Amino acid sequence: MLKIRKANINDIDAIADIEKRCFPAAEAASKSTFESRMNIFINHFYVAEIDGEIVGFVNGFVSDERTIRDEMFEDASLHNESGKYQMIFGLDVLKEHRRKGIGHKLVQTMIEAAKDEGRAGVILTCKNELISYYEGMGFINRGASKSVHGGAVWYDMELIF
């Protein structure tokens, strides 16, 4: 059975492993990056579990800035718990569990939490091929991002409540 729950620090090995399997090396966040993110904004990490096995996760911090800068991926100290925008730095679902709606549920969980917390919206960056995926969840494409994360071209997507 699928369950979405808040992450805790014991999930770190599974999270770092899934990240390695889902992203090219230049884009994947390292275990030490996850360690510092979890120390600072564990409340903004959710995992998807099937029968107790973690198969995906979503995470990102909160900021008053309306766009994601590359520094944010590495520097968790830029998190501002009272900020306006919930950012999504990563959405990962293991290949063998894709296309079952898990990614959608993880993003929806972030959106609902951001609403409950009184945020102004949710912000993320994605590659060209996923623009329509996020548009399907209500995000609007604001055009090419300044991000050069991992040497790829990214688009700024936002969902303002």
Ligand X SMILES: CC(C)(COP(=O)(O)OP(=O)(O)OC[C@H]1O[C@@H](n2cnc3c(N)ncnc32)[C@H](O)[C@@H]1OP(=O)(O)O)[C@@H](O)C(=O)NCCC(=O)NCCS
Chain residues in the site for ligand X (CB under 6 A): 22-23, 91-93, 98-104, 126, 129-130, 133
As measured in angstroms, the least distance from the Cβ of 128 to ligand X is 9
For ligand X, the closer of residues 21 and 81 by Cβ is 21
Chain residue whose CB lies nearest ligand X? 103
For ligand X, the closer of residues 82 and 129 by Cβ is 129
**Which residue is associated with the tokens 């096995």?**
53
Beta strands in 8-135 (DSSP E): 45-50, 53-59, 62-63, 85-88, 90-93, 121-126
For ligand X, the closer of residues 31 and 100 by Cβ is 100
Query: What SS3 class is residue 139?
Result: coil
**Which residue is associated with the tokens 């999930």?**
11
Nearest to 19 by CA among 159, 157, 156, 150: 150
As measured in angstroms, the least distance from the Cβ of 22 to ligand X is 4
Q: What is the 3-state secondary structure (H, E, C) of 50-67?
A: ECCEEEEEEECCEECCCC
Rounded Cα distance, 32 and 12, in Å? 10
As measured in angstroms, the least distance from the Cβ of 160 to ligand X is 18
As measured in angstroms, the least distance from the Cβ of 119 to ligand X is 19
As measured in angstroms, the least distance from the Cβ of 90 to ligand X is 6
For ligand X, the closer of residues 117 and 133 by Cβ is 133
For ligand X, the closer of residues 6 and 98 by Cβ is 98
